[in-house]
Every structure is written in C-alpha cells, then in structure tokens.
Amino acid sequence: MGCGLSLQQPESRPMSATATATAHPRRAAIHRMVMEKHTCPYGLKALDLLKRQGYAVEDHPLRTREEVDAFKAEHGVKTTPQIFIDGERIGGYDDTRRFFGKAVADPKATTYKPVVAIFGSSALMALAIGQAALGTPFTARTIEWFIAVAMCLLALQKLQNVESFATMFLNYDLLAKRWVPYSYIYPFAEGLAGVLMLAGALTFLSVPIALFIGTVGAVSVFKAVYLDRRELKCACVGGSFNVPLGFVSLTENLMMIAMALWMGVHAFP
C-alpha cells in the first residue's frame, strides 16, 4: 500500500492500550517522610520512578515523627516510603523497582564498576591534560599521564578509609603480613608516587617508590590468586567494594612497575 490520500471517511477504531493508558494513567500513591530536617531520599527516588513510569501519583508526605509512627503501625510496616498502586501496597523503593522489572543493587554483589570508572576517568583526564598543556590530546606523554592519574585516583579510594583498606590488604600482601604498618603506608606511597610522576618531579623518589610497591604488590597478587587459588576481595579500590582480587589489582601493580621503569630509563640514561 502506498501513502496516497483517501476520500473515504476514516473508520472509527477503539483506542489502543497505549493511548488509553495515556488518556487515563494508572494511579499510584506514595507515603514518604518529608520532615523539616530530613527528606527521605528513597521517597524522592520512588516518586520520580513512578512518574517516569507514567503514573499519576498522589503524594502523601509524613511531616512529623508521630505521623510516621502512626502510618507504620496502621499498615504494619517497618520502613517508609510505602508505595500503593491501584490500591494495592507494593512496598518500598526496592520493591517498586522489582514491580517494574528493574534491577535492584546488591551491595554484596561482585562488581567492576569502580574500576571502570577510575580507569575511564583517568583516560579522559590524561587526554584533557594533553589538550590543555600541548594543544593536542594525543601525545607521547598521554600514557604516562594516564598511569599517573590512575595511581592518584586509586590511592584516593584507599585513603577514604585507610583502616578498611589495611584490613583487606592484610589478607594477601606478603610484606604487610610481615610488617603491618606497611598496609597503612601503602596508599600514601601510591598517591605520592602518582603526584610526583604526574608533575615529572623528584623522579629519584617517585621511581623507587612505584617500583617497590608495584613489585611487592604484583608478586603478592600472583601468589594469592594464581598459585594459592584463593578467592579474595581486592583492596585496590579501597575496602568498600566487592571487586575480586585478580587481574585488576595485578594490572594496577604492573602499571606502576612499567611507569617506574619507563621514567627511570628516561631520567637516568
């Protein structure tokens, strides 16, 4: 059939399910905590989710502790927000995500997202430095800047909670097991080496630091993962994420070794 004009009157057809849903959106109600000094973030997330799903939402803010406690007692629930769709209680924010077939984050699940974020950001920052300093993002120094920035960002992750990092690090690092203070020194040493390498300053200090901690780290990871076959969490991005020990941590250490050797050769011909 072509796209020609017809002189016949169009047939009267029933509205599609989509059109009907648009004309008469399903209704939802949310009861969420909106107090003077605290607005529940999960309530805001749930409200936004319902609206994005095309629901007409009745928002019922709970503005006092008494209102919150009374609502919980009335419905026999322990938390807010609580979402109702077409009069049926769905539950909280995570329950609502499941209702719409969306994934719910598991804080204990294995993830590589922090690593991807760090290395991706490091690459973009290295390109930006090249553009700002030399007028082009692609230079012979781009890889150097990438590694140096990655070292700084990885160190920053560890420095957010040194105690948590040290606890995880002691599970596999060979030197830290023999001398516990090394587990606390490591993030500062990595950060210092990264900053100095980024600046191209004090090479006589940055190169030995990076070479030492990188070599010890690479040997430790290789032994724990590939020889002893242990399944451990990686301390490379701090102690807050469930990143498996293995290729990622080994790559971090090998990058430090490569950077140290590269800068050492050029600094001390």
Q: Encoding tokens for residue 94?
A: 């995570």
Give Cα separations from 41 to 28, 44, 139, 140, 185 (angstroms): 18, 5, 44, 46, 37
pLDDT at 268 over 80: no
Cα angle 124-130-131, degrees, rounded to a multiple of 5: 90
How many Cβ atoms from other residues are within 10 Å of residue 126's Cβ? Answer: 24
pLDDT at 16 over 70: no
pLDDT value at residue 243:
73
What pLDDT band is residue 106 in, cutting at 50, 70 and 90? confident
Per-residue pLDDT tens over the stretch 43-87:
999 999 999 999 999 999 999 999 999 999 999 999 999 999 998
**How far is the C-alpha of 245 from the C-alpha of 231, rounded, in Å?**
7
Please give the model's pTM, rounded to 2 decimal places.
0.74
What pLDDT band is residue 240 in, cutting at 50, 70 and 90? low
Query: What topology does CATH give the domain 26-99?
Result: Glutaredoxin (3.40.30)
For the chain, the straight-line distance linking the first and the last C-alpha, in angstroms and rounded, comes to 77
With contact defined as beta carbons under 8 Å apart, do 190 and 183 qualify? no
Burial 51-83 (b: 16+ CB within 10 A, else e): eebebebeeeebeeeebbeebbeeeeeeebbbb
